[in-house]
Homo-oligomer: A and B are copies of this chain.
Amino acid sequence: MNCAIIGATGYTGIELIKILTRHSFVRLTHLTTRQKRAIPVRELIPTISREVNLEVRRHSFSEVKRKTDVIFVCLPHTEAMLAVKQYREAGKIVIDLSADYRLKNAAQYQKWYKTRHLFPSLLKSAVYGLTEINRSSIRKADLIANPGCYPTGAALGLAPLLERGLVDLKSIVVDAKSGGTGAGKKLSVHTQFSELDENFYAYKVNRHQHMPEIVQTLEKIAGKKVGLTFVPHLLPVQRGILTVIYAKKTNKATPAAIRKAFLERYSGEPFIRLKAEETFPALRDVQNTNYCDIGFTVEPKSGRVIVITAIDNLLKGASGQAVQNMNVRCGFSEEEGIPA
């Protein structure tokens, strides 16, 4: 199968190249950039096998269109919008790693991304690519809106509880901590070494653009309105998101019922690993993998459930899940090519 990566020089593009060059059924035909100079992949990713002879280049839309079956769009949000539209019109399967086709409500998109959505009808047709939740729709989707990193960590931790009504929907607090690559490759004073090293802080407290995406996802799962408090933080590490979720349990939510919900819901999932009772994941456990590790406990006194999830923000939180979605869509083994 012929794949292209549009915007291949950022962190998510790089991870896609690493995965897809190992994928048994994929040929990478085009890696694109807006930079003028062609960049050998070996220069972009010095650790890659020297057998990889690809280049990232300015490719015209018509070139890419001619030869490709699946398009991964790794452009910044608002810039992805048009590219997705064009490749869809050309009949390609598109997996969009930007935020542009995630929010179902165009008004919400405009509110949080400060840009009017130009293709609201295409938005409607997009399938939200949280694999474990939407697998059957992904199988038939031609436009997959690949989830954000924070929403992935939050939704996978809450889904089994929401589906069975085990937590009070107004009581949800998500306290998430992300490594520095989450901020992307763009130069910024906040991600300068001398600013982030030895430092730690919360940012965009209750104002992060992933909030509406989390709410939309949780509400779809729960089938009801959800209240959310969301505080993201920046960690002085490169990769990984640790998400700590607090919620009041409902009356029927015994510890046994909660454990059963997780076990049954995620049994057979290739990339979800449940921790043993009263143990919790560390970033180290999932870095450079597509796993989402989940630990949880019920605190009897306060009646609060605590769920902790760990993912690699660039893999399960971006490019790993994107390929997982492609595998589902194209009928390959779901794990094909994806780092353990």
Contacts and interface: CB of A to CB of B under 8 A. Distances in A.
B240 A200 contact: yes
Interface in A286-315: 286-289, 291, 293, 297, 299, 301-302, 304, 306, 308, 310
Contact of A194 (B185, B195, B246): B185
A235 B288 CA distance: 19
Contact of A236 (B187, B197, B302): B197
Contacts of A193: 180, 191-193, 195-197, 236, 238
A86 B200 CA distance: 41
A229 B302 contact: yes
Interface string A177-211: 10011000101110111111111111101100000
Contacts of A189: 187
A307 to B, nearest CB: 11
Interface in A133-182: 170, 173, 175, 177, 180-181
Contacts of A239: 198
Contacts of A202: 242, 244, 280, 308
B285 A205 contact: no
A122 interface: no
A301 B180 contact: no
B273 A246 contact: no
Interface stretch (A41-49, A60-68, A113-121): A41-49
A50 B292 CA distance: 12
Interface of A: 11, 46-50, 170, 173, 175, 177, 180-181, 185, 187-189, 191-203, 205-206, 227-229, 231, 233, 235-240, 242, 244, 246, 270, 273, 278, 280-289, 291, 293, 297, 299, 301-302, 304, 306, 308, 310, 340
